[in-house]
Structure 1
Amino acid sequence: MRTELRDGVAEALRDGRLAGLHAAVVVRDGETLLEHYGAGTDFCWGLPLGVVEFGPETLHDLRSVTKSITALLYGIALGAGRVPSPEQPLLGQFPEYPDLAADPERSRLTVEHALTMSLGLEWREDVPYDSPANAEIAMELAPDRYRYVLERPIVAPPGDQWHYCGGASALLGRLIAEGAGQPLAQYARTVLFAPLGIHNVEWTVGVDGVASAASGLRLTPRDLARIGELVLADGAWDGRQIVPAEWIRTMLRPRLETTWGAHYGYQWYLETVADHRLASGHGNGGQRLVVVPELGVTVAITAGNYDDPDQWQTSATLLEHVILPALH
């Protein structure tokens, strides 16, 4: 199986089907079946790093895979009684905005609407991430990121439809940090990364010094795969329950359909690929964390196809045409 995976990656690279691939790690039942590293131009949250030779200890932007890890942190904090339950009113957690809470339409928002990206607020991330016309960039540039999100114009009833929104993840990050009484990155190191033996971590912050809960994490592919293994194990690791098992099940329950046909749980995509049901986190450039419960498999992919309209082709090809066929 290892040979088939290695040869499959080599062939796909020769054929030009894995453009921009930086690294890939496949783990099954705790056994590493594939660990591939390449080289290529890379960036750290938009800042050029030049050509990087990737290896086991090289950190890589996760971009929006960060959202899926933020959801795990929310579950840990919820289990510790530090954050509100999903059905709680969202604006009740932001008492500094009484004017927004007084709006009867906005008062309908709940924490779950943030978890499922169904806030019903105007939000555009379909423009390049180096443009202030992109709502996530505008949020980072705003004097108050949370007000920026919560005062967006209402365009749909909350909970009615899924609409991609990094601002929803930012709100969750604020709830975690407030409940934990410490910055998000510090809390994450204490309750998630350190228990998993993950110590090589960076979490990019905005101009206000706040870690981006939507896109700021940098991990090695090995450690990203370890996060997937934790999800496969219902939140348990080395005899310790790190994330409540009930939260893992709740988080991965499909709730809304995305605009491209997958379903969405709590900051995780749920879809069927090559007849296998999987849960995944996706990030700009082709970043991917995939768990395939029926196979006991975790896949971590990093790539450098940032802002490319076809950025998903590399990770999709690798997963659907190389990795999954080799695992039968």
Structure 2
Amino acid sequence: MVATRGGQTLLEHYRPGEDFAWGGSLGLVEFGPETLHDIRSVTKSVTALLYGIALGEGLVPPPTEPLLPRFPQYPDLATDPLRARLTVEHALTMSLGLEWREDLPYNSPANAEIAMELAPDRYRYVLQRPILEPPGARWTYCGGATALLGRLIADGTGQSLPQYGQTVLFAPLGIGSFEWIAGADGVASAASGLRLSPHDLARIGELVLADGVLNGQRIVPADWIHTMLQPRLQTSWGGQYGYQWYIESIKGRRLVAGMGNGGQRLYVLPDLDLTVAITAGNYDGPDQWRTPLTVLEQVILPAVA
């Protein structure tokens, strides 16, 4: 756990525990400031930042653009008039209207993200899912939506996600060590593959707090930060969702967050100029959300608010 304000570390805490990389045990690890940790689906929020950078460079389509023309390898899907309604924004907001279940354990091939990773073509797997409702009608948690964004970034930049991320985001932030886990097809997972240290994860939160500028350097366009964090759809538990980021309220203060399985959290509280990065190992636990929220509410906020 690392909490920072104004670039200064207010609190940090590490403890030993069993670590995992995408479900594979790494054994007991003595965690410290430089230790990498799965951030799981907080990766989605980082991918959204990379999309905004690429958009500012004119390398990826704007949110309003139709999605399927960017996947010309699937002409059969493009002829479906219902699928033709899909836009980039529907991927950004996880509102594709396609059948997708990730409420199952991530060690089960019945989980749609795992099935996507096992599929011979991950993008076809996502785009040919059965249509359940009009796009944009409802938020449904969907790692496949983020996978599509990752492909648009790779196609537009001519680089893999790790390569592009290193050039335009990690190196400018001074993040020298990271890993981006890839599937069997060699494609880095845009939805859940990043491994970062908590300090470096907090740096990403500081960048969001500063509207895309850090140490005087513009890294992410400010208008993208504002657009990305605009509430657009309600989540299944009542919070709001923007472009791959959650927008909620805690103790009357605005909270934007990246969240990942096992208790991974990147909390950003603009009113307090506060960033909190938490990595944990409670993977697939039904109450995994409770510990990071308790830490924020009962430990950190009383100390700084």
TM-score band (shorter)? over 0.9
3-state SS of 2:13 partner:
strand
Matching of residues 1-328 of structure 1 within 5 Å = 24-328=1-305
Equivalences, count = 305
Cα offset for 1:156? 1.1
Q: Which amino acid aligns with 1:64?
A: S
3-state SS of 1:67 partner:
helix
What is the CA deviation profile of residues 139-198 of structure 1, one whole-angstrom value per residue up to 9, with x for unaligned ones?
000000000000000011100010000000000000000000011110000000000000
Could you list the structure 1 runs, at least 4 aligned residues long, displaced by more than 4 angstroms after superposition.
none
Cα distance in 1 for partners of 2:212, 2:269 equals: 15
Q: Which amino acid aligns with 1:257?
A: Q
Cα offset for 1:323? 0.9
Cα distance in 2 for partners of 1:163, 1:86 equals: 18
Cα offset for 1:238? 1.4
Cα distance in 2 for partners of 1:30, 1:140 equals: 37
- The percentage of counterpart residues that share the same residue type is 73
> Which structure 1 residue ranges, 5 or more long, are not aligned?
1-23
Cα distance in 2 for partners of 1:322, 1:161 equals: 35
3-state SS of 1:92 partner:
helix
What is the CA deviation profile of residues 2-56 of structure 1, one whole-angstrom value per residue up to 9, with x for unaligned ones?
xxxxxxxxxxxxxxxxxxxxxx000011111001101111100111011111001
Cα distance in 2 for partners of 1:48, 1:209 equals: 21
Cα offset for 1:215? 0.1
Cα distance in 2 for partners of 1:274, 1:318 equals: 14
Cα distance in 2 for partners of 1:219, 1:258 equals: 26
Structure 1 vs Structure 2 CA RMSD: 0.5
> How does the TM-score come out when normalised to structure 1?
0.92
What is the CA deviation profile of residues 226-264 of structure 1, one whole-angstrom value per residue up to 9, with x for unaligned ones?
000000000001111100000000000000000001000
What is the CA deviation profile of residues 91-116 of structure 1, one whole-angstrom value per residue up to 9, with x for unaligned ones?
01100011101000000000000000
3-state SS of 1:325 partner:
helix
Q: Which amino acid aligns with 2:127?
A: L
